Amino acid sequence: MKSTFPQLRLPIALSFGKKTPFSFQVQKPRSSKLGDFRYRKDRKIQTITINSDLNPFQFLLTFIHEVAHLHTFEKFGNSLTPHGNEWKKEFQSLMSPLLTNSIFQMTS
């Protein structure tokens, strides 16, 4: 199963790469993680990977999660904890435009 972004969210997701360009790869499924961003000092352009077996919404959330790591790293370097307050603020900022009923359909 190959994952894709929920169709209406692709332009928003692509805009994240304008702030900080990065390489993006869809990987074979890994049991230990859904996605990954790791800083590599030997690379000018960093890489984000996402597992291929995620449903579209898991894929989108994981993508945003990893982009938040990239942006946080760009702002603060390696001195922070991976899911600390700075990362949480960045993740919230990236998620904010997506938190509408038209994107995440609410059921009662």
pLDDT in tens, 80-89: 888 999 999 9
For the chain, give the number of residues: 108
**CA 25 to chain centroid:** 12
d(CA 11, CA 103): 13
Least Cα distance to 27 among 18, 38, 17 occurs for 38
Long-range contacts of 90-97 (CB under 8 A, 24+ apart): 91/64, 91/65, 94/16, 94/64, 94/67, 94/68, 95/64, 97/12
Q: Which two tokens stand for residue 54?
A: 């995620």
Confidence (pTM)? 0.79
**pLDDT beyond 50 at 1:** no
Angle between helix 56-76 and helix 85-95 axes, rounded to 10 deg? 130
Q: Which domains does the chain possess?
A: 7-98 (3.30.2010.10)
pLDDT in tens, 7-44: 545 566 666 666 778 888 899 999 999 999 988 889 88
